[in-house]
Amino acid sequence: MGDNDTAIAYCQKVLEIQPDNIHALGNLTRYHILNGDMEEAESTCERLINSQAKGWDVWTKKVEALSYFGDDEGILQVFEQAKASGELQGTSFTGLFSHLVAVALTHQGRIDEARKLWLQTPENTEGSKLAQANLEDLKKPIGERHAPWAFPLGCWLTQKTIEELSVLADSHSKKKGQQLLAKSTENYFDSHPQINTLIPILLERGDPQGREFAFRFATLAKTPEMLVALRDFAISQHGPDAMRYEAAITVSEAKLLPQEGVKMWFQGEFQEVNLISYELHDEPTVANHSRKVKSLGAKAISLMKKGGVEKAVDAEKILQKALEIEPDSPDLLNNLAGTYQMQGRTEEAYNLLSELSSNYPDYLFPRISLARLKIKKGEIAEAEALLKPLISRQRFQFSEFSNFCNAQIELSMAKKEKDSARKWLQMWENLDPENPDLLPWKLKLDGDNLLKKLSMFSDW
């Protein structure tokens, strides 16, 4: 903090000569924040807002200081004062004034006014770059947005702090592993207490880089202060859904949130979600096949994807050839059961899946497929009994997890528990957002609302 302390001392000397100096008060507010001294920062900011001194870009310095505290009402009051004074035209030198007011307007739900101000920000200014970045971010789906944000990361943390933490992460992640990295991060936070103050602020209103930076280091440190910050972030409306969900999982594992029925902001509205932590991987679920069997299996799957009874019959013949070479391959037998289903030979599929589930308990596809067949047959209790043990499983292959979530949603729908189906869909999307199987369920479960949301935000 040496350079920062020198800057604070310089501002204080200026204020001894000119107690109302707008720029010294504005800079001093930020330097106190960089030191994590929010009490001094608030006191200095109050002096700045009350100052009647004249100076270059006075209104910008006032809204800039208020933006560090997220004081949207105060910013909009200054905006009105600037308009009433007739000096609004003189606030365009850096473009920051209109940008910061637009951020406050967005927080207040006044989106159209904010967009107009951002678009009016003078080109090639500091404010115009921030305005454009916010406008671009707001074009994303509502659950993926960071906007609005007032400042980049460099306004909240000194370059020295950013570099020290980055070096710490790089050195330990390569050499010493996660546990030592976590301990080193915790030690750094202990010796730099201002970080404990700034990370919750960055989680609430940082830019994408700032929020990601704060999130990763808070998750690493997991000190009591950081876990509280992550909990507050998880149940807030700030930042992307997936990041808040990951924060909620971390906090739930530390017993600061329950695992079930947590009210969280997803897709632009509050929903109850279950905080179950799963690790997804793309490792093979069965032993490697010979080149010949791999080729036959790929041909069969290609035919099955095309659909139809005729393709299913052809796929069955190919799988039977593969099984002559490798008769005990559970994946080949599972796909064979799939061809039976496609041909309407449900009882044969049912019997084969039952046999596979018993013989290969760690190979999940037959068990899940059997549960889905039972759901279709109305055997709900039996289907639930098959799926329930898998809920506590920690690792899934991506395709396994997709099938599992499909089965859980189908089970919920069969039990007429639409809210439960939505929770499973939300968790699935958080962990595997690019999965193409999500969209049909989104349309089925919340089609009208989804279309409304798409039309609402199409103008961005």
Tens-digit pLDDT profile for residues 351-400: 999 999 999 998 999 999 999 999 999 999 999 999 999 988 889 999 99
Instruction: Tell whether the model's pLDDT for residue 325 goes beyond 70.
Output: yes
pLDDT score of 456: 45
**Residue 111 and residue 141 in contact, taking contact as beta carbons nearer than 8 Å:** no
More confident residue, 317 or 431: 317
Dist CA 349 CA 339 (whole Å): 8
What mean pLDDT, rounded, does the chain reach?
90
φ, ψ at 339 (rounded to 5°): -65, -35
Instruction: Tell whether the model's pLDDT for residue 248 goes beyond 60.
Output: yes
| Percentage above 90 pLDDT, the chain | 70
Instruction: Tell whether the model's pLDDT for residue 66 goes beyond 80.
Output: yes
Instruction: Tell whether the model's pLDDT for residue 459 goes beyond 50.
Output: no
Q: Rounded to two decimals, what is the model's pTM?
A: 0.73
Residue count (the chain): 460
**Residue 122 and residue 95 in contact, taking contact as beta carbons nearer than 8 Å:** yes
Per-residue pLDDT band at 447 (split at 50, 70, 90): low
Per mean pLDDT, which range of 171-175, 199-203, 359-363 is the poorest?
A: 171-175
Per mean pLDDT, which range of 94-103, 149-158, 239-248, 264-273 is the poorest?
A: 264-273
Per-residue pLDDT band at 159 (split at 50, 70, 90): confident
Per-residue pLDDT band at 438 (split at 50, 70, 90): very high
φ, ψ at 110 (rounded to 5°): -95, 70
More confident residue, 230 or 179: 230
Segment 184-202 mean pLDDT: 92
Dist CA 242 CA 201 (whole Å): 19
R_g over Cα of the chain:
28
Instruction: Tell whether the model's pLDDT for residue 408 goes beyond 90.
Output: yes
Dist CA 8 CA 171 (whole Å): 32
Instruction: Tell whether the model's pLDDT for residue 246 goes beyond 60.
Output: yes
| Percentage above 70 pLDDT, the chain | 94
Per-residue pLDDT band at 284 (split at 50, 70, 90): confident
pLDDT score of 453: 47
- In tens, the pLDDT along 10-48 reads 999 999 999 999 999 999 999 999 999 999 999 999 999
- In tens, the pLDDT along 74-131 reads 999 999 999 898 877 766 678 999 999 999 999 999 999 999 999 999 889 999 999 9
Amino acid letter, 31: Y
Instruction: Tell whether the model's pLDDT for residue 457 goes beyond 50.
Output: no
Segment 433-447 mean pLDDT: 89
